[in-house]
Amino acid sequence: MTDTDTRTGDAVSGVEIVLDRVTKRYPDQAAPAVDEVSMTIPAGQIVVLVGPSGCGKTTTMRMINRLIEPSSGTVTIGGRDAATIDADELRRGIGYSIQQAGLFPHLTVARNIATVPGLLGWDRKRIAARTDEMLSLVGLDPGTYRDRYPRQLSGGQQQRVGVARALAADPPVLLMDEPFGAVDPITRALLQDELLRLQGELGKTIVFVTHDFGEAVKLGDRIAVLGDRSRILQYDTPAAILAAPADDTVAGFVGATPAIDRLGLAVLGDLDLDRGVTATPGTTPAELATALGAADRPWAVVLDDRHRPTRRVTAGELAHADSLTGLGTPIGVTLPADATLQDALAVLLTDRTASAVVLDTAGAYAGIVTVDTLIAHLAPTETAPA
Ligand code: ADP
Ligand code: MG
């Protein structure tokens, strides 16, 4: 979506960022931490900087908002040389979100989010309205969360507040430094989905730092793979990097097995999902037992009248039952059809479950995914020679 005119609300579309031979030499360090990095970050895109720990990702990112001053080189933001902009003014125009959210522990959620609007001198009414709007935007109910303190939130909720705070003053540029590094894989996948949804609405220019190539593939419109001193080893779309890594270092980073990368590029909805055996509450236990037997399946999914999965019922549980109502066990972990296969595998492995139910965008039953389905997708062509 590049047509900014079709976006609604007061959202500002992002601006281009250009790094031109940007270098950082820390005092008393023989080699520069970042050495002559040049790159153009297109307006309205998510560019992910990915590379091993210590390669200079944070230093590079912080030179964009001048939390770190470059030793040499130029950063241009929306056509303006960042060095000529007052540093405080510059930072108020750039959202910044970091690992563990970086919230002020002694301020409520609302006051954390209001930090930059407050500095910008917005009046209280506008700040209060904006705070609630931001909470809703990141999926937190304002009434429940605005007066809480950060310690009263889960890690994932803190990250959401961190993103809300970064977005509060509607900056055209967002810098995110391993923002989801401290949360569990399931929450991370949710936050990534949320960020992509937000970006679909907002169209910011987002620079996102991670050391996780899978995260880079999922989030990036473009990925810059960085080596020592932030040297750019490859800067391209995820698909182009996966298809043709520039060198062995990039290939190593992309993953030992090229096939594994398909997991990050395909979503569950692309698969021919197993529909299993389903029933509705009106189905009799005997009918369902017959269906399970005919399909040679150990369990069935019971759907409600809107086709949403409610419970799993095993053949054994059917034996002495009069009706399906309340029978069986809750459906367990579900996955949206737009989850990548990589996320799905992570969820199945983390949850130690062999299968999960997949839901379509309306929340209706779409089928079942198993670890085996995903592993089959990993190496579909690797068949043993006769
Ligand atoms: P990354 O974010 O990729 O892990 P950093 O940008 O934090 O990398 O660090 C890059 C290099 O610069 C590392 O070798 C690190 O030790 C060094 N470095 C970072 N901050 C400082 C500092 N304030 N003073 C001296 N060296 C630093
Ligand atoms: Mg870092």
Q: Give the model confidence (pLDDT) of 230-247 as tens digits.
A: 999 999 988 788 778 899
When pLDDT is averaged across residues 24-32 and rounded to a whole number, the result is 92
Q: Identify the residue whose C-alpha is closest to ligand 1 atom 14.
A: 54
Tokens of 327: 């029978």
pTM for the full model?
0.68
Which ligand 1 atom sits closest to the C-alpha of 230?
A: 3
Cα–Cα distance measured from residue 39 to residue 383, given in angstroms and rounded to the nearest whole number: 42
361 three-state secondary structure: coil
For 76-130, give the DSSP string.
EETTEEGGGS-HHHHHHTEEEEETTTT--TTS-HHHHHTHHHHHTT--HHHHHHH
Ligand 1: residue whose CA is nearest its atom 7: 58
Q: Is the pLDDT of residue 9 over 60?
A: no
Identify whether the C-beta of residue 217 lies closer than 8 Å to the C-beta of residue 253: no
In the chain, % helix, strand, coil (3-state, to 5) comes to 40, 25, 40
Entry field: residues in the chain: 386
**For residues 343-370, average pLDDT:** 88
User: Sorting pLDDT into bands at 50, 70 and 90, what band is 386?
Assistant: very low
Pairing of strands 72-77, 46-50: unpaired
Residues bordering ligand 2, an ion, CB closer than 5 Å: 58
* Closest ligand 1 atom number to CA of residue 62: 6
The least confident of 196-205, 251-260, 303-312, 339-348 is 251-260
**83 class by beta-carbon count within 10 Å (0-12 exposed, 13-18 middle, 19+ buried):** middle
Distance 66 CA to ligand 1 centre (A): 15
Q: Please tell me the distance between residue 96's alpha carbon and the centre of ligand 1 in angstroms.
A: 18
Which ligand is in closest contact with the Cα of 55? 1
For ligand 1, mutation pick of 23, 24, 26, 53 (most atoms within 8 Å of CB): 26
Integer angstrom CA distances of residue 297 from 75, 172, 313 = 61, 53, 11
% of the chain with per-residue pLDDT over 90 = 50
User: In this structure, what are the phi and psi dihedrals at residue 235, rounded to the nearest 5 degrees?
Assistant: -140, 105
